[in-house]
Each structure stands twice: as structure tokens, then as C-alpha cells.
Structure 1
Amino acid sequence: MAFIDCHFFSDTLGISSSMYVILPQAAQGQIGMDAVGRNGRHPVLFLLHGLSDDHTIWMRRTSIERYAASLGLAVVMPNVHRSFYTDMAQGGRYFTFVSEELPALARSFFPLAEEAERTFVAGLSMGGYGAMKLALTRPDRFGAAASLSGALDAEDCARTLLVPEETARIFGSADAVPGSGSDLFHLASRLAASGGPRPKLYQCCGTEDFLYGSNIRFRDHCRTLGIELTYEEEPGTHEWGYWDRKIQSVLGWLPL
């Protein structure tokens, strides 16, 4: 695999930004790596970070490069700060950035697939929310999405996880979340009623995780709507040992 620390300017955010990128390389001499290369454009996973982290965290806390090597899969890890993957009420347009500008820029820099069936998104905690939000909002652009211990109930997070000042910056208020583009329950209902394409969805959470209850609510909501969702749970808390294991499950589940 090739590892690229990419710095670029975002017109959407009006600031310089960063992403980590790993690309397939069919090298023969890398010890302990079963590397697979591809001709043409690579299938791509946009891999999202959580609230207290940044774009470096998946490379620092897991073996994502080693796991992706045998799949011929490119992985793009962007930085969105504490934005909750939203066009913030008082801040940057981070959802527009990650849904529109970032994929276009990444594809202009690197040989990445453009078809929805070869474009995937996953994330942990706040990034699990971002992954589901991207797939439910733009099902025409993502073939599959995975949430690991996702902060899937944005209204609950706005009321209990974030301090009031941060809730105001991100969402405007907790009362503004229900029925909006930040409400995954609303987005799932809209997708179910649309009759349009439905990406594959995967969700997992540890049973001792403080976000377990909201994960169960989202799972049950999707099932009630008839949205196909692969759900897994096991003993675990909100920690990197669990996510290092489960990202391997996600990679095995992706329709590569």
C-alpha cells in the first residue's frame, strides 16, 4: 500500500484541510503484507473519525492499512474537526465538504472509482453518524455504509453529549434536529418512502457502550421501515480494541 498525507485547500470551508489516503500497490516484497493492485480506478472507502479525533486516528489506533492491502481497496480519511458532519449553524459547511467537495477532490488527485457500487463509507462514533448520514442522504453515491458504535441519535447527542454552546454552533439548537437533515431517523423514513436506490447498511455496537441504547433505537427504526440492515453486537465499550476488530468485519462485509 502507498500512504499519502494530503494537504489541500477547501473552497467549501475556506481553509486548508487534510486527509490521509492509502492506495493499493501490488508490491511483492513487503513483509507480512498480502498486497493486491488493480488496473484502473480503485474501489474506495471513505473512513470517518469520531468527535475527539482527527483524520490521523484510524492509522494510529488500528491496522487499517494492513487490513485493506489484500482487498485492493483505497481508503480516504478526511478531517472534519468537531463538526458532527453538518453544515454548522455557526461554522463551516462540513456536510457539503464531505459529501460533495471531498470526493471530487480525492478523485481528481487519485485513481478512485466513481460508481456508487464501488464507493463506500464507514466511521466510528460521530463518524458512524456521518457515514449513515451520507448514505441516507445520497444513496445514489454510496453503495454501502457502516457505523461502528455510532452516535446515531443526533437530538440525544445535542441534549446530553455536547455542551449547550457546542450544540448551538453545530445544530442551532437540539429542538432544530428532529425532522431535519441532521436526523437519521427522519432520513431513514424518507429513504424508505422514496422508492429509490438503497445502499447496504451495517451497524455494530458494544453492549456496554454508552451509545448502545441509541443504536438499538436506530436498528429497530430501520427494521420497522423495512430497510435492510446488518446488525451485530457483542460485549464491548467505546474503545479502540473493539473498533480495530470490527473494522475487519466491515471490510469483510463490503460488496467488493
Structure 2
Amino acid sequence: MALIQCDFFSEALGLNTSMNVILPQTTYSQIGMDTRSSEGKHRTLLLLHGLSDDHTIWLRRTSIERYVAPLGIAVVMPAVSRSFYTNMVSGMDYWTFISEELPVLARSFFPLSDRREDNYVAGLSMGGYGAFKLALSHPDRYAAAASLSGALDLSSLYTERSKDFDLIYGSPDQLKGSPNDLMKLATDVAGHTKPPQLFQCCGTEDFLYADNQRFRSHAESLNLPLSYEEEPGSHEWGYWDHKIQRVLEWLPIHEADKA
């Protein structure tokens, strides 16, 4: 695998920012690694960080590079600060950055496929929200999305996170029912001819467990293609290191092989 840190200027944000990228590489003599690459442009997993972290965290807290090596997919890990992947009321346009600018830039830097069936998004906590937001907002761009302990019902979190959320969304009324509300996005995408496949997991001791239950019930009532898993666990990296391996098993990579 090739690991690259990119520092680049974002027009959407008006500043320099960073992302880490894992690229497939076929090797035959690298000790302890089973690697695979592919001809042409690579399938891509956009992997999103949580509220207190940045683009380096998945590499620091998990073995994501080793886990994806035999799959032959690229992984793009951007930095979005504490933005909740949103164009902030009092801040920068992180939604424009993550949804519009970043895919174009990443594909201009590296040989990444732009086909829907080759693109997936996943994240933890705030990143779980971002992953579902991207896939539900753009079902024509992402074949699958995974949320690990995601913050999926922000209206219920608003009072607890009002210091952050006032800067991002403005007020609870401005959030609820808006394009930043996953409940609304799920309802909207239910009528799409080909909604993205969704994977959702949360530990039963996680403080976001009840929020995950609410989103699960809503998605299931809409008959969205949702795979749901729960087990004992809390909001911590041991759980996420375990579950990102499960996400990689679940991704429709073999379906892309047949396309």
C-alpha cells in the first residue's frame, strides 16, 4: 500500500487543509501483508473522522491500511474540524468542501473512479452522520454508506451540543427538517430508484445508542436497504477498530467486480 499525506488549498474553505490517502499497491515480498491492486481507476472509500479528531485518526487508532490491503481499494481521509460536515452558519463551507470540491480534487490527484458503484463512504460518530448525509443527499454518487456509532438524530443532541450546534446550524428550528436532518434525508431518498445500501452499528452502552435506535426505526419504516448490528460496546476505538473490519466485509466490492 502507498500512504500519502496531501496538504492543499481548498477554494470552498479559503484555506490550506489536509487529507491522508491510502492507495492500492500489489507487492509480493512485503512481510506480513496480503496486498491487491486493480487496473485502471480505483474504487474508493471516503473515511470520515469524529468531532474531536482529524484526518490522521483512523491511521493512528486502527489498522485500516492493513485491513484494506487485500481489497484493492483506495481510502481517502479528509480533515473537517468540528464542522459536522456542514456549511456552517458561523464558519466555513465544509459541506461544499466534502461533497463537491474534495471528490474532484482527489480524482485530479490520484486515479480514483467516479462511478457510483465504485464509491463508498463511512465514518464514526460525527463522521457517521457525515457518511449518511453524503449518501442520502447524493444517492447517485455513492453505492454504500456505513455509520459506526453515528450521531444520527441531531435534534435530540441539540441542547447538549448547543455551543457547537448554534455555530453550525443556527438554531434547532433551522436544523429540524432541513437538508442537514438525516431523518428528512432518509424520507426524501426512500422514493429514489436506487437508494444507497446502508450499514449502521452502535454499541448498546454508547451514549448515542437511543439516537441510533430512532434512526434505525425510521429507516426501516421507509424500507431503506439498511443492515443493522448492535452488541455490547461504548464510544471508543476498540469497538470502532473491530467494526470497521465488519464494514469492509459488508461493502459491495464484489458486486462492483461484476458491474
TM-score (norm 2): 0.96
Q: Is it true that 1:233 corresponds to 2:237 in the alignment?
A: no
Q: Which aligned pairs between 1:205-244 and structure 2 lie closer than 5 A?
A: 205-244=202-241
The alpha carbon displacement at 1:165 in A equals: 3.2
Residue number in structure 2 paired with 1:255: 252
Q: Is it true that 1:98 corresponds to 2:98 in the alignment?
A: yes
Cα separation, 1, equivalents of 2:105 and 2:193:
27
Q: Which aligned pairs between 1:71-220 and structure 2 lie closer than 5 A?
A: 71-160=71-160, 162=161, 164-193=162-191, 195-220=192-217
The alpha carbon displacement at 1:31 in A equals: 1.0
Cα separation, 1, equivalents of 2:124 and 2:164:
20
- Give unmatched runs, 5+ long, in structure 2: 254-259
The alpha carbon displacement at 1:65 in A equals: 0.1
Letter in structure 2 aligned against 1:45: L
Letter in structure 2 aligned against 1:174: P
SS at match of 1:167: helix
Q: Deviations over 1:202-222 (max 9, x none)?
A: 000000000000000000000
Q: Deviations over 1:171-193 (max 9, x none)?
A: 11122111101100010001113
SS at match of 1:70: helix
Mapped contact 1:13–1:97 kept (Cα < 8 A): yes
SS at match of 2:71: coil
Cα separation, 2, equivalents of 1:2 and 1:46:
16
SS at match of 1:159: coil
TM-score (norm 1): 0.97
Cα separation, 2, equivalents of 1:98 and 1:196:
24
Mapped contact 1:155–1:175 kept (Cα < 8 A): no
Sequence identity of aligned pairs in percent? 62
Runs of 4+ in 1 over 2 A off after TM superposition: none
Cα separation, 1, equivalents of 2:163 and 2:237:
28
The alpha carbon displacement at 1:120 in A equals: 0.3
SS at match of 1:120: strand
Letter in structure 2 aligned against 1:170: I
* RMSD of equivalent CA atoms: 0.8
Q: How many residues align?
A: 253
The alpha carbon displacement at 1:254 in A equals: 0.4
Cα separation, 1, equivalents of 2:197 and 2:230:
18
Cα separation, 2, equivalents of 1:37 and 1:190:
37
Mapped contact 1:12–1:101 kept (Cα < 8 A): yes
The alpha carbon displacement at 1:197 in A equals: 2.2
The alpha carbon displacement at 1:22 in A equals: 0.3
